[in-house]
Amino acid sequence: MNIAIDATPLSVPTGGVARYTLELSRALAERYPQDCYWLITDQAVPPIENSPCNLKLVSAPHRKWWSIGLPTEMARLGVNLFHGVDFSVPYLPLRPSVMTVHDLSPWLDPEWQPAASRIRARTPKLLKLGAATMVITPSRAIRTAVIDKFGLAPSRVMAIPLAASEHFGPTHAPAPPRPYLLFVGTLEPRKNIGRIIEAWREVSRTQNADLILAGRVREDFQPPPAEQGLIVKGPIPEQELPSLYTSAAAVVYVSLYEGFGLPVLEAMQCGALVITSLDPAIQEIAHGATISIDATDPRALARAMRAALDSTDEVRDLRKRALERATQYSWKRTAELTRETYDAAVRAFAA
């Protein structure tokens, strides 16, 4: 099969959707060498390093990309199916298509996704008109929400979890000079950064610990003022993340809302203690292997941070359980379930 995958998310150097696009494309190409996978976009995207020979990047700038440019390129390449990995598919259903809906954040709170006005307006219409033959969500919680929100037939929507890359695992880095708590992810309003800082300040009155915020700072997020022990690192090279996760007293990911929560799984695969919110999608990953707290309660978060820094037997047990839980996820399995969805889309389109 000739399959086109939207490469537009790769024009942003970091973030969960970019990671999903790249890892899924590679895993599909490696698992199904008989297929040809085209990463296709009208944006400037850096070359894909160390990619299988059946994974190819096509950049073709065009003013009317979704209505004219993309269908023209797919016809030229002989594409059989299109996968829109970020809420979009072509307007005209000339071939089977699959749309990934990562979450409902564009519709739940405009402040969470201020740049998503086109998604808010366009995606419901594409789903209603059947432009997307099949829909993928990253968790069962989001699958249920998407079916309810857009009135979709359950048979059209598949929940397929993401995975952490294979290079995420425990490292043997030397102990840090000072204990630290760690957040990894895009710094944006729904990641609950303000409460993380508030809880850390409370903890740091009695316990020595830094707070490291690692990730891209989104334009609409106001960085916190400088203070002793608070370290805003910005984006971290992927090869440095396993050591950062492993050496942390705890990874703190108490997002107010998530479609999956990939940093949680990455940290668990490194054997880190993770403090998470009770968000349903995150809890699908956590499954009793994290400290889970009410994301709106800074006192509960502070208690969890103190427990992490004390490194009790319970904390050490959670690290072991996290490693065991993480083994249930792999990009190979994600690719297999996605490829099955492609086949379902082909059958549904022909029906």
One domain, residues 341 and 239: no
DSSP-assigned letters across all residues of 21-50:
HHHHHHHHHHH-TTSEEEEEESS-----TT
Both 15 and 125 in one domain: the answer is: yes
In a domain, 121, yes or no: yes
Range of the domain at 311: 180-326
Question: Would you say residue 170 lies in a domain?
Answer: no
Tell me whether residue 195 is in a domain. yes
Residue 199 within a domain: yes
pLDDT tens-digit profile, the chain (351 residues)? 999 999 999 987 777 899 999 999 999 999 999 999 999 999 988 888 888 999 999 998 888 898 899 999 999 999 999 999 999 999 999 999 999 999 999 999 888 888 888 899 999 999 999 999 999 999 999 999 999 999 999 999 999 999 999 999 999 988 899 999 999 999 999 999 999 999 999 999 999 999 999 998 888 888 888 899 999 998 899 899 999 999 999 999 999 999 999 999 999 999 999 999 999 999 999 999 999 999 999 999 999 999 999 988 888 899 999 999 999 999 999 999 999 999 999 999 998
Rounded Cα distance between 17 and 37, Å, is: 18
Same domain, 32 and 117: yes
Domain tally for the chain?
A: 2
CATH of the domain at 279: 3.40.50.2000
Instruction: Verify that 293 and 339 share a domain, yes or no.
Output: no
Q: Which residue has the tokens 């929400």?
A: 145
If asked whether residues 228 and 265 sit together in one domain, one would say yes
- What is the pLDDT, as a whole number, of residue 41? 95
Q: Are residues 124 and 220 in the same domain?
A: no
Query: What is the pLDDT, as a whole number, of residue 12?
Result: 79
Give a yes or no: residue 169 inside a domain: no
* Same-domain pairing of 216 and 313: yes
Is the residue at 188 inside a domain? yes
In a domain, 74, yes or no: yes
Tell whether 8 and 147 lie within a shared domain: yes
Looking at the fold, whether 25 and 66 belong to one and the same domain comes out as yes
Q: Which of 246, 276, 248 is nearest to 261 (CA)?
A: 276
User: Do 145 and 274 belong to one domain?
Assistant: no
Are 157 and 189 members of one domain?
no
Query: Which 8-state DSSP code applies to residue 209?
Result: -
